[in-house]
Structure 1
Amino acid sequence: MKTNDELFKNVISHAKEYGFVFPSSEIYDGLSAVYDYGQLGAELKNNIKTYWWKAMVQLNENIVGIDSAIFMHPKIWKASGHVDGFNDPMIDNKDSKKRYRADQLIEDKITRYQKDGKTEKANKLQADLDNALNKDDLGSLKAIIEEHNIVCSISGTKNWTEVRQFNLMFSTQMGAMAEGSDEVYLRPETAQGIFVNFLNVQKTGRMKIPFGIAQIGKAFRNEVIARQFIMRMREFEQMEMQFFVRPGTELEWYNKWKETRLKWHLALKPDQSKYRYHDHVKLAHYANAAVDIEYDFPFGFKEVEGIHSRTDFDLSQHQQFSGKKLQYFDPEVNQNYIPYVIETSIGLDRMFLTTLCNAYEEEDLSTPEKADSRSVLHLHPALAPIKAAIFPLTKKDGLPEKAREIMDALKMDYNLIYEEKDAIGKRYRRQDAIGTPICITVDHQSLQDNTVTIRHRDSMEQERVAIADLERILEGIVGWKSLLKEIL
């Protein structure tokens, strides 16, 4: 039985071996906390984005999507509070010179207490951490670290500096000459691009409250402590939707979106026991309710998606700093007001990792006569990078030509792979490892009666079907419709 650490290492190794995720700039020894998505990773990532976009925009008549710029006017980040308040509490070990996030050091200690069965101690430490974070009490964070004998993982010592705040935004210069250029920021979130376009979308789309604006895009944070593979990166992608509502109705909509978003995750048929809600103990100053949807990764429960009731803070701030009115006239109540906002924000990279962790299995297929096993990704068929693999049983007798004929008929609608190398069993194993839902084998009987053998990934069962029925069968297994019906 593998430990969680061993399992996570195997997921990371599997992701690289099969072309899902590579360390960025690897031939130059890599770049810390930056990753590239390989040929299968790009497909899986695009499928996750498609699922989110279809569920959010296509299925909701009152939600539209935009794509705002990464560079925005620097005053936007002053208005949003990021210039003054987008900080993490950092602490250095004087012996190793290694820098840590103070709250994460304490969270790791809580996890160790829980694993050791010291539940009461873990709960007390969690309460102390929450209290210190609520008060922004950096001195208390250091006192907690010292009290619980938390040591540096490299030096093994407790020779700590004071805890201090570190701003996470990347800045750069915009302009032809360095001395005459303006300082701008790489956006640390995609939400502000939605807020500053609120009136543009509302007026051009003739949108009526309540309505939402969705966006998928890159964001950048100078994470000093980036860890756990693609869980926390410096360059990442977000899928966010800001839902604008009438003041006074925000908590009703907050509860609705809280349920809707968990339903989206569970429609993929994961182990439901690995998901939970975690209400925020410390609310942001602009929020009146906030919850995380957490997933039980091999390294513990961590946030995958957040749902926040942001009140009217964002639009009010941008109205104040820009000098432009960002109000909505509501004909139903015959008044102007600044809408309140419900935010749903999911990290695409975290969702990618959640999907891999959910899907990965090292399956023992041994019998009394023979030892056997396989590594398999039980991806939801709609998310699978390759929808079907097409195999001629042999490389002769007209079988490759027949297989290519089937491939040509289906590849306009589905991402397929053709393979004729190695024994059929080895080909099955390779497709299992990348999550391909079905394999289609063309044999000599196919030339006689236009039938093929379909082999299913999860059950490994096989059935004989007519070539003429393949399109219908594929649509039923890998099509978006069956998945989207789960969330209607």
Structure 2
Amino acid sequence: MAEDVFKKIVSHCKEYGFVFPSSEIYDGLGAVYDYAQNGVELKNNIKQYWWQSMVLLHENIVGIDSAIFMHPTIWKASGHVDAFNDPLIDNRDSKKRYRADVLIEEQIGKYEEKIAKEITKARKRFGEAFDEAQFRATNPRVLDNQKKRDDLHQRFSDAMNANDLEGLKQIILDEGIVCPISGTRNWTDVRQFNLMFKTEVGSTAEGASTIYLRPETAQGIFVNYLNVQKTGRMKIPFGIAQIGKAFRNEIVARQFIFRMREFEQMEMQFFVKPGTEIEWFNKWKEMRMKWHQALGFGAENYRFHDHEKLAHYANAACDIEFKMPFGFKEVEGIHSRTDFDLKQHETYSGRSIKYFDPETNESYTPYDIETSIGVDRMFLSVMCHSYMEEQLENGETRTVLKLPAALAPTKLAILPLVRKDGLPEKAREILDDLKFHFNCKYEEKDTIGKRYRRQDAVGTPYCITVDHDTLKDDTVTLRNRDTMEQQRVKISELRELIEDKVSITSLLKKLV
């Protein structure tokens, strides 16, 4: 059922101008997508919400835009050249390649689903008398699946922490995990695969140097942190925010725009005094969850997932996961990266980039808290939660995107009832007045009902209809997307009624 819904969302994205497969007339390019006319507006609004929540609401956070091409030694210093790998396994029968860790995580999820089904059945059977804690502690089927899940989780965690590729394969064999395509267990050994794209810079082949397309945007911040600190006269704690493209040669790219080879990140590195990093890590966890929940998607659709295997640079890490149609998946990572990156760049560059603290009269290497969101994953989470098919009282079904109004591509559709009698001219007069304040669209083709449905499908929160009474009393019919309620309002009141509800400011006010 969830898979069917996801297929509908993917189809909806193409049909209504949100996301197109890249290079489609040439049969496409795997795991690469183009944002269409509505998609780019939604994406820009997501980025604006994030950017303003960082640099507008915090005096001690500023932004930069670093280059995609960077000196190749940066990636040696960061560990990406030696350690930026995925564990991959092939099925010999289907010739398909998979990430071994993802196959095992999905198996863990199956045990969790079995437990959830048992609890759902019991809740229906016992009603208000149902005690979930007691049921979990006593039901044999729940206990059996919980043990299998916990034992598998422990083996998986041990293998990942030890970088035990043979151990990962043995888990896949022991659990009887089959290839989704062939249905067989004819697996190869697990191998490591580096995810960075290489290219060359230089005018001739002989004089060209190998460089990399950046696999993350964070390093551009680290190598510029002292420049920003000095020119901006920044005092610790302070942060640097950046939105930009990153590139990873994902062999197993799937689930639409969830995992792509070219993607966009919104990252903020927050530099703090050593010893205070865990306190700031917990503060940023709280602030980032608040940012997500301000969209109104329901607290039950988010959860923290603490990392058991920490990256080589971290002393604490967690993900914010969102409930997609295919399960809870990471949309944001929050990491305490210690002083690893800055010290590595000091070592490899041979230059001191320590911070001088005027209050303590000492120099030290700051610690760093990172918050990192994939814009594309955020886009997908917004689309997945907003897509709905509603049964109406007249028996019809309407497809509607209940996007947060501040993120919606179009805020107001202006619709003349008919294409004559001066109504189009009046509608365009209203458009010309409001288009300076928020994104408006004019549409006159088809019946008013069909036009309402089209605007519902692209998530437009408000429509106004210009009719013959408008010419007499300067009023229009204002329709609300979510409730479909209509009210008569004066044209002069439209901006005041709509602007605050559809502005990014309306979201930002929930954060302070």
TM-score when scaled to structure 2?
A: 0.93
AA in 1 matched with 2:237: P
Residue 460 of structure 2 corresponds to residue 417 of structure 1: no
For the Cα contact (< 8 Å) 2:438–2:499, is it kept in 1?
no
Q: Which moved more, 1:88-97 or 1:191-200?
A: 88-97
Residue 294 of structure 2 corresponds to residue 267 of structure 1: yes
Deviations 1:348-400 (A, max 9, x none): 000000000111111111x3xx3111111111111000010000111111111
Deviations 1:71-100 (A, max 9, x none): 000000000000000000011122222211
Give, in angstroms, the shift of residue 104 of structure 1: 0.9
Give the Cα–Cα distance (whole angstroms) in 2 for the partners of residues 120 and 397 of structure 1: 73
For the Cα contact (< 8 Å) 1:20–1:42, is it kept in 2?
yes
User: Which residue pairs with 1:408 in the alignment?
Assistant: 432
Residue 389 of structure 2 corresponds to residue 362 of structure 1: yes
Give the Cα–Cα distance (whole angstroms) in 2 for the partners of residues 290 and 431 of structure 1: 41
User: Which residue pairs with 2:202 in the alignment?
Assistant: 175
User: Which residue pairs with 2:415 in the alignment?
Assistant: 391
Deviations 1:404-424 (A, max 9, x none): 000000111211110111111
1:252 to 279, 291, 304: 279
Deviations 1:173-220 (A, max 9, x none): 111112321000000000000000011101111111110000000000
Deviations 1:419-448 (A, max 9, x none): 111111111111011000000111111111
Give, in angstroms, the shift of residue 153 of structure 1: 2.0
2:378 to 351, 364, 374: 351
1:24 to 22, 25, 35: 22
Give the Cα–Cα distance (whole angstroms) in 2 for the partners of residues 112 and 248 of structure 1: 40
User: Which residue pairs with 1:431 in the alignment?
Assistant: 455
User: Which residue pairs with 2:114 in the alignment?
Assistant: 116
Give the Cα–Cα distance (whole angstroms) in 1 for the partners of residues 66 and 231 of structure 2: 16
2:340 to 309, 313, 322: 313
User: Which residue pairs with 1:40 in the alignment?
Assistant: 38
AA in 2 matched with 1:438: Y
Alignment of 1:42-191 (within 5 A): 42-117=40-115, 118-191=145-218
1:324 to 351, 367, 375: 351
Give the Cα–Cα distance (whole angstroms) in 2 for the partners of residues 399 and 92 of structure 1: 63
Q: Secondary structure at the match of 1:180?
A: coil
Give the Cα–Cα distance (whole angstroms) in 2 for the partners of residues 153 and 448 of structure 1: 65
Give the Cα–Cα distance (whole angstroms) in 1 for the partners of residues 370 and 33 of structure 2: 27
User: Which residue pairs with 2:124 in the alignment?
Assistant: none
For the Cα contact (< 8 Å) 1:74–1:185, is it kept in 2?
yes
Give the Cα–Cα distance (whole angstroms) in 2 for the partners of residues 163 and 101 of structure 1: 9
For the Cα contact (< 8 Å) 1:453–1:465, is it kept in 2?
yes
Give, in angstroms, the shift of residue 331 of structure 1: 1.4
AA in 1 matched with 2:486: Q
Give the Cα–Cα distance (whole angstroms) in 2 for the partners of residues 62 and 254 of structure 1: 16
For the Cα contact (< 8 Å) 1:387–1:438, is it kept in 2?
yes
For the Cα contact (< 8 Å) 1:19–1:41, is it kept in 2?
yes
Q: Secondary structure at the match of 2:8?
A: helix
User: Which residue pairs with 1:487 in the alignment?
Assistant: 511
User: Which residue pairs with 1:374 in the alignment?
Assistant: 398
Give, in angstroms, the shift of residue 30 of structure 1: 0.9
For the Cα contact (< 8 Å) 1:451–1:464, is it kept in 2?
yes
Give the Cα–Cα distance (whole angstroms) in 1 for the partners of residues 385 and 298 of structure 2: 7
User: Which residue pairs with 2:328 in the alignment?
Assistant: 301
> For structure 1, which runs of at least 5 residues remain unmatched after alignment?
none
Q: Secondary structure at the match of 1:426?
A: helix
Give the Cα–Cα distance (whole angstroms) in 2 for the partners of residues 476 and 350 of structure 1: 27
Residue 369 of structure 2 corresponds to residue 342 of structure 1: yes
Q: Secondary structure at the match of 2:206?
A: helix
AA in 2 matched with 1:26: E
1:443 to 463, 467, 470: 467
Aligned length: 483
Residue 480 of structure 2 corresponds to residue 453 of structure 1: no
For the Cα contact (< 8 Å) 1:271–1:358, is it kept in 2?
no
C-alpha root-mean-square deviation of aligned residues, in Å?
1.0
Alignment of 1:2-21 (within 5 A): 3-21=1-19
Give the Cα–Cα distance (whole angstroms) in 1 for the partners of residues 152 and 325 of structure 2: 22
Deviations 1:445-471 (A, max 9, x none): 111111111000001111111101111
Give, in angstroms, the shift of residue 474 of structure 1: 1.6
Residue 260 of structure 2 corresponds to residue 233 of structure 1: yes
Give, in angstroms, the shift of residue 28 of structure 1: 1.1
Q: Secondary structure at the match of 1:31?
A: coil
Q: Secondary structure at the match of 2:328?
A: strand
For the Cα contact (< 8 Å) 1:386–1:415, is it kept in 2?
yes
**Which runs of structure 1 show a deviation greater than 6 angstroms over 4 or more consecutive aligned residues?**
none
User: Which residue pairs with 1:211 in the alignment?
Assistant: 238
Q: Which moved more, 1:380-389 or 1:284-293?
A: 284-293
Give the Cα–Cα distance (whole angstroms) in 1 for the partners of residues 402 and 208 of structure 2: 51
For the Cα contact (< 8 Å) 1:244–1:341, is it kept in 2?
yes
